[in-house]
Amino acid sequence: MLSVEGLSAWYGEAQALRDVDLAIEGGQVVTLVGRNGAGKSTTLRCVMGLHEGPRRGRITLDGRELGHLPAHRRARLGLGYVPDDRGIYATLTVEENLLLPPAVGPEPWSLDRIYTMFPRLKDRRRSAGSKLSGGEQQMLSIARVLRMGARLLLLDEPTEGLAPVLVQQVRDLLLEVKQHGVTILLIEQNLRFATSVAERHYLLVEGQVVESLTNEEVRAREGELLRYLGV
């Protein structure tokens, strides 16, 4: 579904990515793993068309090369991006947050479908974004891009800063989203969480993909990888 070939990117003269290659089949969940500053967020931003610095390489979605399409054009093709700060409008209600962005993608979810899958959001639909817990905000940010019509979610550290019980809720949510046929590429530092939701894991080191690991390989090398990641 998504193919990235030879992706390099710069911030000014500093090179953040070096010939990154990765591929995701439809319906898969795949993670990007690496230390802070390894280039994980830059990779997602390049895929979404949000990286403003120089870049080169080839990104294709369902065989269509995205070239230099802006982010809003990529959203129409089914890409949805959830940043690490979640992008919730604090003064708007849950329902206003859901309805404000236009449904531009090829498979937008109706509000009723959103509320069926996210009953907690239905309960909190009149609450301001600032009144939601971290887990509820993450739920809202994911629900919003699904309502916009995303078929491939790009998630930047969806469990960061969440208590263990909320991490479990996000895990269950992502597994349910996957059952609806949505493809997911996410950044994740929690290896046990990563192996509970994803099939494959790309290890980034200083802007390069150095390994593609299966769940079995991650579990077998968990101690080594945790030491490497500094977790």
pLDDT tens-digit readout, 93-145: 999 999 998 899 888 999 999 999 999 999 999 999 999 988 899 899 999 99
**pLDDT at residue 230 greater than cutoff 80:** no
Q: Residues 183-193: what's their mean pLDDT?
A: 90
pLDDT score, position 140: 94
**Which pLDDT band holds residue 148 (cuts at 50, 70, 90)?**
very high
- Asked if 93 and 126 touch (Cβ cutoff 8 Å), the reply is yes
Tokens of 131: 């009144």
To 10 degrees, what angle do helices 164-179 and 134-148 make? 20
Tokens (6 digits) for 28: 């898969």
Task: Quote the pLDDT of residue 96.
Answer: 96
What are the C-alpha distances in Å from 176 to residues 50, 142, 173?
28, 12, 5
Q: Give the mean pLDDT of 152-168.
A: 89
The candidate with the shortest Cα–Cα distance to 169, out of 154, 182, 159, is 159
Provide the pLDDT for residue 228: 76
The helix or strand, by DSSP H or E, that contains position 94, with its residue range, turns out to be helix 94-99
CATH 3.30.460.20 fits 2-229, yes or no: no
pLDDT of residue 231: 54
pLDDT over 90 at 153, yes or no: yes
Residue 179 structure tokens: 């059952």
The amino acid that residue 148 corresponds to is: M
For 48-61, the pLDDT digits (tens) are 999 999 999 999 99
| Rounded Cα gap, residues 120 and 167, in angstroms | 16
Query: Do 106 and 150 form a contact (C-beta atoms < 8 A)?
Result: no
Please give the model's pTM, rounded to 2 decimal places.
0.92
Q: What are 25's strand-pairing partners?
A: none
Question: Whole-number mean pLDDT of the chain?
Answer: 92
Does the pLDDT at position 213 exceed 70?
Answer: yes
